[in-house]
């Protein structure tokens, strides 16, 4: 089975890849039209592809004030870190509360298929400002790191060269590294992933990833779903207009019910894939803010709530 984010080969796959790059903020609309025109042989075909994706008329909406967290925000401290991977050095952004005086739960932030770009670094800082040790993982580390690639097209191609078992192993080793840090509550580690990162959350949850909570934003569940039971509490966020992913909700729900695991599924009406990304073409600030509030609430319940006494 072809990996969802592997290197596109057919014209259809290349078209989907370009549209996905635009949705994630990696291409301007004019650049998207130019590339699709060249790929499909004309501007009419390019516009048909854009319309078919529900992007005929898109108005870029602005982030609400106070959503972004800058590198100079006095509430956080951050650094770029490296730690041993499987024969290479993993690269990540580590951010945490500036005045942290005792160990805190940790949250791994897993990027889309473009690597550890500035938007994901910002989301990592948002997690830290919420009081967690936040680690934005770079799943392009095996290829030298996100910063080695000149643009989002190259980063997307690099991600397409990674394999699911490699990504699973890199996240697993990141958890093990966090567990050893004295400023982390070693058995209170969660993860949030977006798009490809959400898919990595699902894959990990169905394959015994040692996480205490996971939030998947518009990730694609494995198809078919593994028979393995899920033990990690999951919150699954889907976009209304993302029909292919939304169609998987019934099977996913049944699998999670059968696993007898705590989970929630939220479908945000009127939204498209990538609605949380404030650098993308279909950012929806209302839905994004609500989804983020639910995310932090979910982590608070599963990473901070006292455990029942024995």
User: pLDDT digit string (tens) for 200-226?
Assistant: 999 999 999 999 999 999 999 999 999
Band (58; pLDDT cuts 50, 70, 90): low
1 pLDDT tier (thresholds 50, 70, 90) = very low
What residues pair up with 104 in beta bridges, in sequence order? 184
Q: What is the pLDDT of residues 139-180, one digit of tens each?
A: 999 999 999 999 998 999 999 999 999 999 999 999 999 999
Pair of tokens at residue 31: 């650049």
Report the pLDDT value the prediction gives residue 51, as an integer from 0 to 100. Answer: 73
- Of 299, 298, 293, the residue nearest 268 (C-alpha): 293
pLDDT band, residue 244 (cuts 50/70/90): confident
Tell which phi-psi region holds residue 127, choosing left (phi > 0), alpha (psi between -120 and 50) or beta.
Answer: alpha
**Which pLDDT tens digit goes with each residue over 67-126?**
999 999 999 999 999 999 999 999 999 999 998 999 999 999 999 999 999 999 999 999
Domain residue spans of the chain: 11-52, 76-304
pLDDT in tens, 259-268: 999 999 999 9
Do residues 231 and 259 make contact, with C-beta atoms less than 8 angstroms apart?
yes
Per-residue pLDDT tens for 13-49? 888 777 777 776 666 777 777 888 888 888 778 778 7
Which residue is associated with the tokens 């993308």?
A: 280
Which of 3-17, 70-84, 236-250, 278-292 ranks highest by mean pLDDT? 70-84
In angstroms, what CA-CA distances link 100 with 15, 127, 187, 212?
46, 14, 18, 21
Return the CATH number of the domain spanning residue range 76-304.
Answer: 3.40.50.1820
CA 200 to chain centre: 8
Q: What is the pTM of this model?
A: 0.88
- The confidence score (pLDDT) of residue 118 equals 96
């Amino acid at each position: 089975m072809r990996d969802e984010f592997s290197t596109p080969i057919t014209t259809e796959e290349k078209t989907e890849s370009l549209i996905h790059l635009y949705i994630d903020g990696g291409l301007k609309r004019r650049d998207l039209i130019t590339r699709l025109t060249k790929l499909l042989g004309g501007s009419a075909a390019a516009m048909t592809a854009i319309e078919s994706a529900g992007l005929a008329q898109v108005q870029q909406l602005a982030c609400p004030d106070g959503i972004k967290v800058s590198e100079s925000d006095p509430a956080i401290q951050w650094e770029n870190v490296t730690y041993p991977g499987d024969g290479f050095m993993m690269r990540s952004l580590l951010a945490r509360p500036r005045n942290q005086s005792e160990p805190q739960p940790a949250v791994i932030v897993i990027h889309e298929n473009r690597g550890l770009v500035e938007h994901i670094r910002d989301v990592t800082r948002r997690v830290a400002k919420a009081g967690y040790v936040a680690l934005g993982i770079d799943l392009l580390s095996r290829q030298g790191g996100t910063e080695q690639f000149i643009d989002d097209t190259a980063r997307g191609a690099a991600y397409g060269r990674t394999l699911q078992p490699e990504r699973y192993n890199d996240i697993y080793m990141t958890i093990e590294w966090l567990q050893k840090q004295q400023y982390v509550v070693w058995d209170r580690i969660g993860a949030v992933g977006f798009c490809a990162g959400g898919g990595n959350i699902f894959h990990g949850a169905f394959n015994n990833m040692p996480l205490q909570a996971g939030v998947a934003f518009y990730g694609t569940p494995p198809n078919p779903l593994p028979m393995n039971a899920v033990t990690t509490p999951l919150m699954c966020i889907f976009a209304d207009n993302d029909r292919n992913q939304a169609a998987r909700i019934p099977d996913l729900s049944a699998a999670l019910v059968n696993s007898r695991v705590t989970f929630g599924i939220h479908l945000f009406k009127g939204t498209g894939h990538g609605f949380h990304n404030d650098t993308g073409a279909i950012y929806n600030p209302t839905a994004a803010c609500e989804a983020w509030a639910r995310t932090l609430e979910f982590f608070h319940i599963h990473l901070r709530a006292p455990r029942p006494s024995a």
